[in-house]
Chains A and B, each alone.
Chain A
Amino acid sequence: MNNALTKKITLCAVLSTLGALAFMLESLFPPLFLPGARMGISNVFILLCALVVGKKYAYISLVVKILIGSLFSGNLSSIMYSLPSGLISLTVEILLLYLIKNVSLLSVSVLGSVINVSVQNTVFCLVTGATEYLSFLPYLALISVFSGLIVGLTVHFSLKIFPKKYSAN
């Protein structure tokens, strides 16, 4: 009993640290079109956490990743753009994985990354009032399809070689 809980907490902590590191590394790239939108590499770790540890721990690691990542990367306002988009896309992904059971990880992460980028962009435009940036939204959503494919492939192949003794079950 205690062993299982400790395993879950440790796994969740390791995956959220890796997610925070990926978040900070992504913010070092120069922005492509507009500030706040980034490649979604940290979604790999959140999706792994949702699959290997549990639903509740996925939300916890998402919040921890965003808070710690934006605190240490220096722009605190990215919390405002990333938190709603991360929550909404994680909810959609978990609904797809648990209710409609036979979906592959590729499609789930493609849909998650499209929702992620569109919500981030919309929140940015609403908050700063610069609605001219909404014209970048279709091109960003198209690019995010490809980044979602890469994330999905990474999660699929890393799940195949994930050692069973580390899984918290």
Chain B
Amino acid sequence: MVLTADLDKNKKIFYLKDLLVYLSAIAIVLALFCAFVIFPKTSKSFTGFNLSVNNDIALSVSFDGQVNVSSEYVNLIDYVKDGDSIILTVHSNVHLDGYNKIVIDLKNKTALVSESNCSNSKDCVYTPKISNTGAIYCAPHALKISAIGSASEFVPPTVG
């Protein structure tokens, strides 16, 4: 059965049964807000940012200026302290020429990716800056930047 027979009737913009549908859409949105905004995971203390490559922590920066680099990535990461922020350049061990430049602001406690040559769409550069929730993920370089304490418990399936 095809609805083309109903093309003759003018379908109205508002029917009474619409209210059911709108209510269920609003209920879904409210449930999502409750689950993620009103009752969030309590972050006890927000001490710094973790940078992980392929889900192993490669680098951690704490807000008193300390930078700890794990031993396998020492020659792939350079960092420069520039006033109130730390600028990291992370070279990728997945692509030979790939790099991501990350700016961590110690006073405002935010992190963002300022430039990268990962792909055409550069999703990591366009992701807005994060503080204690959210993460910046660069998929071609397998890079993840997130706050310490908001660890994800999933082990991701290998794709591709």
Contact = CB atoms under 8 A, between A and B. Distances in A.
A159 interface: yes
A104 B21 CA distance: 10
A103 B36 contact: no
| Overall SS of chain B's interface | loop
B65 interface: no
A106 B13 contact: yes
Contact of A34 (B1, B7, B127, B153): B127
B3 interface: yes
Interface residues of B, number: 51
A111 B24 CA distance: 8
Interface in B3-34: 3-5, 7, 10-18, 20-22, 24-25, 28-29, 32-33
B15 A31 contact: no
| Overall SS of chain A's interface | helix
Contact of A130 (B2, B15, B40, B137): B137
Contacts of B37: 135, 138
A106 B24 CA distance: 14
B21 A108 contact: yes
A114 B16 contact: no
Nearest to A106: B13
Q: 10 smallest A-B Cβ distances: which pairs?
A: A129-B156, A132-B135, A107-B21, A35-B123, A169-B4, A131-B152, A107-B18, A138-B32, A138-B33, A129-B154
